[in-house]
Amino acid sequence: MGTVPVYSHEERAARDVQLTNLKPESPEIERIPTVEIDNYHGINLNIISGYAAVCAMAFAMMQVIIGSGLLARSMAADIGGSTKSVWVAQTVTIVNLAAGVPVSQAADYWGRKWPMLITCFVALIGSIVLSRAQTMTVALFGNFLAAVSTAGQPLFYTVASEIVPRLYRPMAQAGIGLVVAASGMTGLLAGSALTRHNPAGWRVIWYIEIGLFAFSGVILYFLYNPPPRPEQISHTHLQRVKKLDLVGIFLLVSGVTLFSIGLIWFDNPYSFKDPHVNTPFAIGLVLILCLIYHQIRVKKDGIFHHQLFNQRNVWIAAFGIGIEGAAFFGANTYFPLEVSVLFEPDSFIVGTEYCVLFFANLPATFLAGWWSTSRKDLRTPLLVGFACFIVFFATMASVDLNDKTKLWSYVVFLGFGLGCLLGSIVALAQLCAPPHLISITTGIMTSLRGIGTTILLPCTSAIFNSKIKTNLPSKIAAEVIPLGLAPQALAQFIPALANNDPKALQAVPGVTPQIIQAGVHGLKTAYLVSLRPVWLLTLALSAVAFIACIFIKDPKHDFTKHVDAPLDVSEERDERAQDKSAAA
């Protein structure tokens, strides 16, 4: 037997580039060949430390998402600018949507570590700015910087998958899901408790965020030290910049941002005829159409690489994650609203009730990862997940004013469905991707999740706003006029009741406690009827996604023990494994 050659990281990277260049890139290939060599040598300190580093980043990032949505009203109550508070949560969505894919492509050429560190540092600065903000304008700027952490979200899922064997990817994604669920749970409870009696308590959350991002950056810098990627060795910085799809990135970022701004402003508060809505919407739509043409006809290896879309599973995963994001964030918006208006005005109790979602999410995430790994089956968790979504939205569409206690059980289905879906969809897409395109694949998936949210939320908002404008006066009038309130007084009574203003209510001519109580019942009925179409729309979307998942072909042949980006520095063992495989 000859001596097994031992290569350095640089020599192996250069050889990997040569082998990659020999691979066919025809979009008609039914399945991209994957490496079947078993180069897994067990769990070691490098894998544990690298995984811990991305989990810490994921925990801090989720706090930004929760805090931005939960604390917007408290921020406005403390520093003013209530008309601008809607942009606190929307900023996170736009940044995640626009920046996820570009950051993912950059990570393919400069490695995963530095893009994550940069997004962590920017988020740290944003948290500092937010915690000291005295105006809503400054707070929005700080929130924008903090939201940059979400641009690194695809890399958390990428690193978690590529440092472990392909067989264990569902469990790796489940681990990230568990961390995100734990972060969401603590963020909801802490945020609700800190602002329950004092609106200024929102600042404490961002002080905590400062510590989380500082801690995450430190352990990421010291604990995650992957070997250089082939592109880092074989290309100069200038060559890497040239390989970026700069035109596609520009069209994506600018188009998605303008398109989202137009949708967010639609009926909130502007009509579609207003330039605030139609101008950014039209320009964004044109830029997105240009992006589609550019990716299909001009740049076939750009941010939407054609090798990624040669399988049915990828298309189903793309569609499924868009629906999952749209349905989940729709529930995230309207479930607390319905609970707070119909049943429970205490924001802490509302947050606690919604937190049941994350308690259900934890076991579901683990079970989905275990099932997929042990059975090499991703279709079943996806079907179960969308079935749970269907049950949740169907029950919410049938809620009546006597269902206060039942809502605690309804939200369990949402949490269980979410736990089954997100990690499984990401794992499905990653297993369909060539190893050198895992990062960009994950970036596309997270961006499509944001696109689904960005499109659905303005649609549901328009549906709800149009219904409530009609139902609120009619339902309240039907309750209070028979009790003796003059029809002329409705113009004064309805706004006072809707704004929960006791002084304004007492000033209404002819008002009595009985009339106020009847008016409250009419208001609740109006909200109940107006929210029902929103739940029915998300129910229909979840049903379509369930049907699509039936056609998934489980990639059982890809559940191997090959590690795409091993952190094990033992080159000799890798080469011996390759030598044995070649001899066989």
DSSP code at position 556: G
- The domain spanning residue 386 has which CATH number? 1.20.1250.20
Domain for residue 213, yes or no?
yes
C-alpha triplet 149, 153, 154: angle, nearest 5°:
145
Q: How many domains would you assign to the chain?
A: 2
Whether residue 429 is found in the same domain as residue 338: yes
Residue-level pLDDT at 316? 94
Whether residue 207 is found in the same domain as residue 325: no
End residue of a domain, out of 183, 212, 229 = 229
Within a 10 A sphere around the Cβ of 138, how many other Cβ atoms? 15
Whether residue 182 is found in the same domain as residue 307: no
Domain for residue 502, yes or no?
yes
Domain for residue 283, yes or no?
no
* Average pLDDT value for the chain: 84
Percent of the chain, pLDDT > 90? 33
Domain for residue 247, yes or no?
no
Whether residue 315 is found in the same domain as residue 193: no
Residue-level pLDDT at 556? 86
Whether residue 222 is found in the same domain as residue 308: no
Domain for residue 271, yes or no?
no
End residue of a domain, out of 192, 208, 229 = 229
d(CA 404, CA 95): 36
End residue of a domain, out of 197, 229, 261 = 229
200-247 pLDDT, tens digit each: 889 999 999 999 999 999 999 998 888 887 777 777 878 888 888 889
Whether residue 189 is found in the same domain as residue 309: no
Strand, coil or helix: what is 563?
Answer: strand
Please list, in sequence order, all residues whose beta carbon lies within 8 angstroms of the beta carbon of residue 236, skipping any fewer than 6 positions away.
none
Whether residue 203 is found in the same domain as residue 319: no
Contact 288, 248 (CB under 8 A): no
User: Residue ranges of the alpha helices (H) in 71-150?
Assistant: 72-79, 86-110, 113-132, 136-147
Strand, coil or helix: what is 511?
Answer: coil
Closest CA to 266 of 252, 281, 286: 281
Whether residue 55 is found in the same domain as residue 177: yes
Helix-, strand-, coil-residue percentages of the chain, each rounded to 5: 80, 0, 20
Lowest mean pLDDT among 99-103, 204-208, 369-373: 99-103
Q: What is the arithmetic mean of pLDDT over 411-416?
A: 93
Q: What is the arithmetic mean of pLDDT over 273-279?
A: 87
Domain for residue 242, yes or no?
no
DSSP code at position 555: -
Domain for residue 34, yes or no?
no
Whether residue 460 is found in the same domain as residue 348: yes
Whether residue 317 is found in the same domain as residue 223: no
301-335 pLDDT, tens digit each: 888 888 888 888 999 999 999 999 888 888 888 88
Q: What is the 3-state secondary structure (H, E, C) of 244-289?
A: CCHHHHHHHHHHHHHHHHHHHHECCCECCCCHHHHHHHHHHHHHHH
- Residue 141, burial from CB neighbour count under 10 angstroms (0-12, 13-18, 19+): middle
Lowest mean pLDDT among 28-42, 44-58, 128-142, 443-457: 28-42
Residue-level pLDDT at 38? 63
d(CA 321, CA 314): 11
Residue 29 pLDDT exceeds 50: no
Domain for residue 452, yes or no?
yes
Whether residue 423 is found in the same domain as residue 307: yes
Residue-level pLDDT at 61? 92
* 292 CA to centre of own chain: 23
* 338 CA to centre of own chain: 22
217: containing domain: 43-229
Residue 36 pLDDT exceeds 90: no
Residue 572 pLDDT exceeds 50: no
Whether residue 187 is found in the same domain as residue 335: no
The more confident residue out of 47 and 581 is: 47
Lowest mean pLDDT among 107-111, 211-215, 291-295, 318-322: 107-111
